[in-house]
């Protein structure tokens, strides 16, 4: 037992480092996508289309990864993610020679969605493998360091783009994906460090269900992910078009990077201490809190009159996305049967990507015809509906759980 505890501390640090690097790389491709594409000569509608296709692919592929892993069980999560790093690196190299045309950039960002952005749920599942195997790895530390990595990358990239241009993001992405591959291939797997015995139920369960079968058999989880889609619609508007929000007050990419970094650094607090927080505040209550603060955050941004207002809204990330990102992982782990856990984590992340996709697509079209204020108010309305729906889904889960007991 002592050996497992000592190993878990080393693995927690190793896993946190991998998460840090992954989300820093994620930032290079995703966070400044509008800045990069606009710099290449695309208009807002084109940016919206490219981003939407990219996000749709990354959302669609994540639940399907479980089927690949079912088919090749010896491959394992670690090796599979490492293999995906290779085409992701190739995509960044290709950006330097591609002409600025939709016919080239849509396939390119499809590949980014498949082999880089689409790895989010698998990175989470790596940590949950240890937790489900009885190895006390600090998943919150890993996810929290992911936010630190994202924040550091945002801060750095904002200044580097101002100085060297938007192409610097893909140079850094290459370096980070190489580092990620090295960290993952050297991360020990649960089965090699004395994992706990599986329950009889887990032993008897076969491969993941088909997607439609899975959704039909998990109505509450399906409702939960629908609420997530609506909330992330608004969340995507704030993330993708924050440069446009900042531009109203004469602020540039350096401010956008600093604002994103503030939010991401604050995420570290509830993520790192999620286990302790959840012992004092019930996990379902934490989901209620996050649902409400998603809507408060975009409303605060919409009503902002200056840079201070934007920064105030970014501080609300600590109770919105930060709490949701941890509470939803554990909720998902409880809400579905063991053989569907990898798929369910993929659906969870995929739902967020779908929300991002719709928000980015509609956001680009709206900005070509209206203004950022109109778009923000649209986001407020959708977010409020999403908050109400999530509270309803969580409440129903609680009631059904009590009845089943």
Indicate the domain borders of the chain. Answer: 2-404
CB 302 within 8 A of CB 332: no
Q: Which of 265, 323, 315, 264 is nearest to 292 (CA)?
A: 323
Predicted local distance difference test score (pLDDT) of residue 251: 83
More confident residue, 192 or 151: 151
Q: What is the pLDDT of residues 362-372, one digit of tens each?
A: 888 888 888 88
Section 214-231 average pLDDT: 91
Q: Is the pLDDT of residue 197 over 90?
A: no
- Which single residue is written with the structure tokens 């407020």? 380
Global confidence as pTM: 0.76
pLDDT band at 193; cut points 50, 70, 90: low
Q: Is the pLDDT of residue 358 over 80?
A: yes
In a 13 Å sphere around the CA of 378, the CA atoms on its Cβ side amount to: 18
Predicted local distance difference test score (pLDDT) of residue 212: 79
Predicted local distance difference test score (pLDDT) of residue 192: 55
CATH, domain 2-404, list 3.30.750.24, 1.20.1250.20, 1.10.260.40, 1.10.20.10: 1.20.1250.20
Measure the CA–CA gap between 119 and 125, rounded to whole angstroms: 10
Q: Is the pLDDT of residue 146 over 90?
A: no
Q: Which of 239, 195, 254 is nearest to 352 (CA)?
A: 239
Q: Is the pLDDT of residue 260 over 80?
A: no
């Amino acid at each position: 037992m002592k050996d497992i505890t000592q190993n878990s501390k080393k693995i927690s640090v190793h896993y946190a480092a991998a998460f840090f690097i992954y989300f820093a790389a994620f930032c290079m491709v995703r966070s400044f996508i509008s800045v990069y594409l606009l710099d290449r000569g695309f208009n807002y509608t084109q940016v919206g289309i490219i981003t939407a296709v990219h996000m749709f692919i990354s959302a669609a592929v994540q639940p399907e990864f479980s089927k690949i892993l079912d088919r090749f069980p010896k491959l394992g999560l670690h090796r599979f993610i490492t293999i995906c790093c290779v085409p992701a690196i190739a995509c960044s190299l290709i950006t330097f020679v591609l002409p600025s045309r939709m016919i080239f950039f849509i396939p390119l960002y499809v590949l980014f969605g498949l082999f880089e952005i689409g790895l989010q749920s698998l990175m989470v599942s790596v940590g949950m493998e240890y937790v489900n195997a009885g190895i006390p790895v600090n998943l919150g530390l890993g996810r929290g360091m992911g936010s630190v990595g994202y924040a550091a990358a945002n801060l750095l990239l904002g200044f580097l783009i101002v100085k060297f241009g938007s192409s610097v993001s893909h140079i850094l992405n290459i370096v980070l994906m190489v580092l990620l591959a090295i960290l993952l291939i050297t991360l020990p797997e649960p089965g090699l460090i004395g994992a706990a015995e599986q329950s009889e139920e887990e032993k008897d369960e076969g491969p993941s269900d088909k997607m439609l079968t899975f959704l039909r058999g998990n109505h509450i989880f399906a409702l939960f992910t629908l609420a997530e889609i609506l909330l992330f619609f608004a969340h995507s508007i704030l993330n993708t078009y924050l440069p446009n929000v900042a531009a109203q007050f004469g602020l540039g990419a350096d401010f956008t990077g600093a604002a994103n970094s503030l939010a991401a650094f604050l995420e570290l607090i509830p993520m790192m201490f999620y286990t302790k927080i959840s012992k004092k505040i019930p996990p379902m209550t934490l989901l209620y809190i996050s649902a409400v603060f998603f809507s408060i955050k975009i409303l605060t941004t919409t009503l902002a009159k200056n840079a201070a207002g934007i920064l105030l809204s970014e501080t609300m990330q600590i109770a919105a996305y930060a709490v949701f990102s941890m509470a939803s992982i554990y909720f998902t782990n409880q809400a579905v049967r063991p053989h569907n856990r990898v798929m369910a984590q993929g659906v969870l992340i995929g739902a967020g990507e779908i929300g991002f996709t719709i928000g980015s697509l509609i956001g680009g079209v709206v900005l070509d015809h209206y203004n950022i204020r109109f778009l923000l108010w649209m986001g407020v309305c959708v977010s409020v509906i999403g908050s109400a729906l999530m509270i309803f889904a969580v409440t129903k889960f609680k009631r059904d759980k009590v009845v089943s007991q």
